Structure 1
Amino acid sequence: MTRHLDIDLLRTFVAIAETHTLGRAGGRVGRTQAAVSMQVKKLEAMLNQPLLNRTGRGVQLTLHGERLLAHARTILRHHDAAVADISGAGLSGTLRFGCPDDYATAFLPHILRSFAGRHPQVFVEVLCAPTPRLRERLKRHELDLALVSTAQEDNTTPVVRREPLVWVGKHDDDAVLREPLQLALSDPDTLDHRAACEGLDAIGRAYRVAYASGSISGLLAVVRSGQAIAVLTQAAVPPDLQVLPTGKLLPRLPDVGLAVAFDLRRPPPLAVEFAEHLQRQLPAL
């Protein structure tokens, strides 16, 4: 007997895999939790395999569920692209986009607003996190594409824009004079954290990482309190803080590149269109 994978069942299954609960998945696809449960049972009966394990915190995919998830995402991407192309309705669907906090603050409002003007039927889900966390999400196919930071010496990745890293402090504050220097930095494996530590080590300046977080709002709060200085991309420096001069006390920091990374070698049309939009808009912002 020939078995056919129903698109609605696959869409619900992907929603469950991404939200980890039947209730939240139901909210995403517009169905009750009971209806979602029935869809799962129907899909499991069709494939004759268990797809989910219920836990106290929600649901987890079985080995068969993990295998189906990869196929389901591919099928849905091609299905949605085909419908949009043949119907002449233009691009539609949901795009999962990742962006570091500092780029989101500086660039994202304009990027999303201008893209929505061109493609009003596309819904963009945004996840803000440091570049290493975004790359992890891409590997797990939890994002379609992401704007990521690349090192100045990286010549293997096409760069959309370059941004200087700068030291940031509170206006009329003497935090830069303290010994050891107190720092508020992003996660230890990020380019800005490494650049700050390597630069200070190179000039022999004593320092202490007083606060480390992937949240730019947390870093800015510490800087605004006068307890530490931070390292940000220049475009992300808010007007109430200042770029600190480099010299004997603070080393010059490198530039970082902004690049687009996909979760698939052959990304779907929607992801390609958003990437091209980034490449058109970012250099001018």
Structure 2
Amino acid sequence: MAHSLDIDLLRSFAAVAETGALSRAAERVSRSQAALSMQMKRLEDLVAQPLLRRTGRGVSLTVQGERLLVHARRILSAHDDALAELSGRSLTGTLRIGCPDDYAQAFLPALLRGFAPRHPAAAIAVVCAATPRLEERWQRGGLDLALVSVARSAEGEILRHEELVWVAPRGAPAAWPDPLPLALGDPDTLDHRAARAALDKAGRPYRIAYASGSLSGLLAVTRSEQAVAVLTRAAVPPDLRILTRSSGLPALPRIGLTIRMDGAHATPLTRAFAAHVRSVLPAL
């Protein structure tokens, strides 16, 4: 007997994976927690694999669950796109997106190019700022959706991991003086805190030459050879170089990229863009 993957089951499974809790996922898909649990049991029976692992904090995906999630996101994205196109239901409204400057340069053009043609009547407004400022704005209701940086160990959905790297001009000297001059983001950003923690642990003296949420200002200071910057690897411009371990600087951690969205009150347009990001961003 042939089996097929039901769209409703996959949508519920994706909600469980993204929220990490059956209670929150049930609210997102407008089902009771008991009904959602039954759906997950049906899906596990259908694929004959365990998909979820119950923990003290909620649920996490098994290896088989992670594999299915990749397929589920592609299937759901294709299904929703086909339905919107064939029914003539191009989504309308205004979508307010928040994104850190470095991710805006690295990823946002590709994300918007793939989404805007599908929904030409939608108005998209983009706000670029440091993650803490985006978090504050999203909490106040000033953004429909925000892409933000989180610690690699953070709970919940991580769409992509990025390595933090030390960056300097290509013509800058190989050895920097002590104390090491730094160009960093705002004091409460991950790059700022990670750089200082790594240098403190290594016992390397440093001074803050520049600290601001402005990426253009940070890059200007770095290009003038006045300081070493910390960026995500994907955001390093071609005129700057990544400093390797041979430079004597300590290793920096990887960070995660996730979505902030109020799933219970999100508009169809916001949900559509979130689904698009989840299907496209990991492969960029």
Please give the range of the TM-score, normalised by the shorter of the 2 chains.
0.5 to 0.7
Q: Cα distance, 1:279 vs. partner?
A: 0.9
The CA distance in 1 between the partners of 2:140 and 2:175, in whole Å, is: 40
1:56-92 Cα offsets, whole Å, 9 max, x none, are: xxxxxxxxxxxxxxxxxxxxxxxxxxxx9xx953211
1:5-60 CA-to-partner distances (Å, cap 9, x unmatched) read xxxxxxxxxxxxxxxxxxxxxxxxxxxxxxxxxxxxxxxxxxxxxxxxxxxxxxxx
Unaligned runs of 5+ in 2: 1-83
| 2:12 aligned residue | none
Cα gap change, 1:168/1:119 in structure 2, threshold over 3 Å: closer, same or farther? same
Cross-structure match for 2:150: 150
SS in 2 for 1:109: helix
- Aligned counterparts, 1:206-285, within 5 A: 206-247=205-246, 249-263=248-262, 265-285=264-284
Deviation at 1:175, TM superposition (A): 7.1
Residue 65 of structure 1 corresponds to which residue in structure 2? Answer: none
TM-score of the two chains, using structure 1 as the length reference: 0.67
Partner in structure 2 of residue 204 of structure 1: 203
Match of 1:81 in 2: none
Matches of 2:264 and 2:151 in 1, distance apart?
Answer: 22
**Matched residues, percent identical?**
58
How many residues are matched?
Answer: 200
Between the aligned partners of 1:120 and 1:236, the Cα distance in structure 2 is 28
- Supply the distance in 2 between the matched residues of 1:207 and 1:117 (Cα, whole angstroms): 48
Amino acid at match of 2:126: V
2:140 is equivalent to residue 140 of structure 1:
yes
CA contact (8 A) 1:175 1:226 kept: no
What's 1:180 paired with? Answer: 179
- With 266-275 and 102-111 compared, the bigger mean Cα shift is at 266-275
* Number of the residue aligned with 2:58: none
Cα distance in 2 between the residues matched to 1:157 and 1:151: 11
- Secondary structure of the residue that 2:245 maps to in structure 1? coil
CA deviations over 1:183-203 (Å, ceiling 9, x no partner):
000000011100000000000
Report the equivalent of 1:27: none
Per the alignment, residue 66 of structure 1 pairs with none
> Rg bigger for which structure?
1
Q: Deviations over 1:127-185 (max 9, x none)?
A: 0001100000011100001000010111x120111110000001131275211000000
Indicate conservation of the 8 Å contact 2:184/2:208, yes or no.
yes
Partner secondary structure for residue 149 of structure 1: strand
Which residue identity lines up with residue 107 of structure 1 in the other structure?
F
Q: Look up the equivalent residue of 1:142 and give its one-letter code.
A: G
Report what 2:89 is aligned to: 89
Contact 1:184 1:223 in 2 (8 A): yes
Q: Which AA in structure 2 matches 1:147?
A: L
Amino acid at match of 2:186: D
Amino acid at match of 1:111: L
> Whole-Å Cα distance in 2 between the matches of residues 184 and 223 of structure 1?
7
Contact persistence 1:175–1:182 (CA under 8 A): no
Q: Where has structure 1 moved over 6 Å in runs of 4 or more?
A: none
In the TM superposition, what are the counterparts of 1:111-150 in structure 2 within 5 Å?
111-150=111-150
* C-alpha distance in structure 1 between counterparts of 2:141 and 2:262, whole Å: 6
Q: Equivalent residue of 2:163, what SS?
A: strand
How far does the alpha carbon of each residue in 1:195-225 deviate from its partner, in whole angstroms, 9 at most, with x for none?
Answer: 0000000000000011011011111101100
With over 3 angstroms needed to count, the CA separation of the structure-2 counterparts of 1:251 and 1:215, relative to structure 1, is same
TM-superposed deviation, 1:263: 4.3
Contact 1:147-1:258 within 8 A present in 2 as well:
yes
